[in-house]
Amino acid sequence: MPGRLMGKVALITGATGGIGRATAEMFAREQARLVVTDIAQDTVEELAASLADKGADVLAARLDVSSPENWSEAIELTRRHFGRLDVLVNLAGIVDWPGIEDTAHESWDRVIAVNQTGTWLGMKTAMPLLRASGNASVINTSSVLGLVGSGAAAAYQASKGAVRLLTKTAAVEYATRGVRVNSVHPGVIATPMIQDLLDEQGDQQPDIARTPMRRAGSPAEIAPAMLFLASDESSFVTGTELVVDGGLTAH
């Protein structure tokens, strides 16, 4: 039976993180051809080798998403090797926990550069190749903290709120140009980025305590949302927010 992404080429940023790896593995199983990227060259090459061992057609590329030059190189690599791009998954992100007064200017700039500017640069650089596909999908990763306030993580919340509205305006701009643009909003997910916090606080972690399902999600529970938005099954879905949060934003 053909895979749900057969014939599609997908580029994933932050591919060696928890959600990134789960998404890359699921896309490979569904027969997408892949460009997996991350800022650490050796780690992303290890991921690509692992996927290739399982039969995937995959390239690895080092990509600092805040760098226009890196983006140009990654998209040119994709064009030369595959000749097309059908799916862009903007997953790379970093977190900084302090609130308004305690956030350092340098930390603010770095979070905005990666989470917000990196998402815009990805769309900007990839869009000509995506438009040429005629049936492309962009999936931007926001967060439940791009929807509601937490009283902390000022830079992270600002960046993820920006990704939400950047996604919507891009969806309107490209709605008749062959590119759908949507955002995914994970809740508390047990990824390496927050694992220390989960290990320290467990079920008493405030956001887990506020989650009706009373647990953290797993990266494997986010990857199917990415797959749906990447596939033709979501052909009439653009500009929307797909929230996967165990009910955290339901109240």
**Per-residue pLDDT, 98:** 97
Determine, yes or no, domain membership for 15: yes
Domain count, the chain: 1
Q: Quick one: average pLDDT of 188-194?
A: 81
Is residue 201 over pLDDT 60?
Answer: no
Is 103 part of a structural domain of the chain?
A: yes
Domain that residue 213 falls in: 9-243
- Give the pLDDT confidence score for residue 1 in this predicted structure: 61
Kindly report, residue by residue over 103-148, the tens digit of the pLDDT. 999 999 999 999 999 999 999 999 999 999 999 999 999 999 999 9
| Residue positions annotated with a catalytic role | 156
pLDDT at 196 > cutoff 70: no
What pLDDT is attached to residue 206? Answer: 74
Could you tell me what percent of the chain has a pLDDT over 90? Answer: 89
State how beta strands 179-186 and 33-38 pair.
Answer: unpaired
**How many Å separate Cα 91 from the centre of its chain?**
2
pLDDT of residue 213: 93
Please give the mean pLDDT across all residues of the chain: 95
Rounded-to-integer distance, Cα 54 and Cα 247, Å: 35
Q: Is residue 194 part of a domain?
A: yes
Question: Per the confidence metrics, is the pTM higher than 0.85?
Answer: yes
E strands of the chain, at which residues?
9-12, 33-38, 58-62, 87-90, 136-141, 179-186, 241-244
**What is the model's pLDDT at position 193?**
67
Q: How confident is the model at residue 209 (pLDDT cuts 50, 70, 90)?
A: confident
- Cβ-based neighbours of 136, under 8 Å, separated by 6 or more: 85, 86, 87, 88, 130, 178, 179, 180
Q: How far apart are CA 78 and CA 135, in angstroms?
A: 17
Structure tokens given for 115: 């989470």
pLDDT at 202 over 60: no
Mean pLDDT of 177-196: 89
| pLDDT average, residue stretch 52-64 | 98
Provide the CATH number for the domain around residue 187: 3.40.50.720
Above 80 in pLDDT, residue 195? no
The confidence score (pLDDT) of residue 191 equals 84
Distances (CA, A) of 45 to 18, 22, 32, 226, 239: 16, 16, 18, 22, 33
- Confirm whether 1 is domain-assigned: no
Residue 193 lies in a domain: yes
- Flag whether 4 is in a domain: no
Residue 241, pLDDT score: 98
Asked whether residue 49 is domain-assigned, the answer is yes
Residue 237 lies in a domain: yes
Mean pLDDT value of segment 69-89: 98
Interval 56-71 mean pLDDT: 98
